Homo-oligomer: A and B are copies of this chain.
Amino acid sequence: MIPENIQRFVQAFSRLPSIGPRQATRLAFRLIASGKNHIATLSQALAGLAQVQICSQCFFVHTHPHTTLCSICSDPHRAQDMFMIIEKETDLISIERTGKYAGKYLVLGELTKSGVLEDIHKTRLSVLKHIIESLPTKQAQEIIIALNPNTYGDLHTNLLIKELTTYTKKITRLGRGIPTGGEIEFADEDTLGHSLERRI
């Protein structure tokens, strides 16, 4: 009763994160109602992602045809001996939007709650170590570990500090305190404690 094209769509899309079979089915009917042109636009936008490549140094994305490096890693004006380790590409985008960081990155890959580094994280870390070893100084000036400030982020931060301590002069983390626009009344004790210890 359900056309095969819809079944194929539901099967493919319900495997995506945060889309279950029900949501995929509903989405299919909405898309059909939205018309052939809209479907073609979406399908082309999706197919276009296949052209996106992963940077061989920091594992962010790029679409440069003749290089393996993203625009950040190939930018000679950025500090070559300063690295920020972030979990996801979207974290990198958020940091870049501040305009306050001019070093390089390592996209570590999404962390699990297992509390250990997975193979993908280890591979990427060894790429970073290799880059650092190729520096004239053989050491980074600073590595900023910018994981989310929660239990799992802190756990992984400690693992990374252990891994990288001989590779850099300085290891730092993002400062903690009350977020701009936040309210003292609703800040948790830990946050408030940090904001007192590191007052500006």
Contacts and interface: CB of A to CB of B under 8 A. Distances in A.
Nearest to A16: B27
Main secondary structure of the interface of A (DSSP, over half): helix
A17 B27 contact: yes
A39 B29 contact: no
Contacts of A46: 9, 13, 31, 39, 42-43, 46
B47 A32 contact: no
Contacts of A72: 1
A4 interface: yes
Contacts of A63: 3-5
Contact of A13 (B29, B33, B45, B90): B45
Interface string A35-77: 0100111111111111110100000011100000001100000
B32 A61 contact: yes
B8 A48 contact: yes
A38 to B, nearest CB: 9
Interface stretch (A18-26, A149-157, A160-168, A187-195): A18-26
Contacts of A30: 16-17
A2 interface: yes
A12 B42 contact: yes
Contact of A5 (B8, B52, B90): B52
- Residue of A27, A36, A50, A93 with highest tally of chain B CB at under 10 A: A50
Given A6-B52, A8-B48, A29-B88, A96 B1 contact: yes
A18 B31 CA distance: 13
A28 interface: yes
Contacts of A40: 47, 50
A93 B1 contact: yes
A89 interface: yes
Given A32-B52, A90-B25, A3 B62 contact: yes
B49 A6 contact: yes
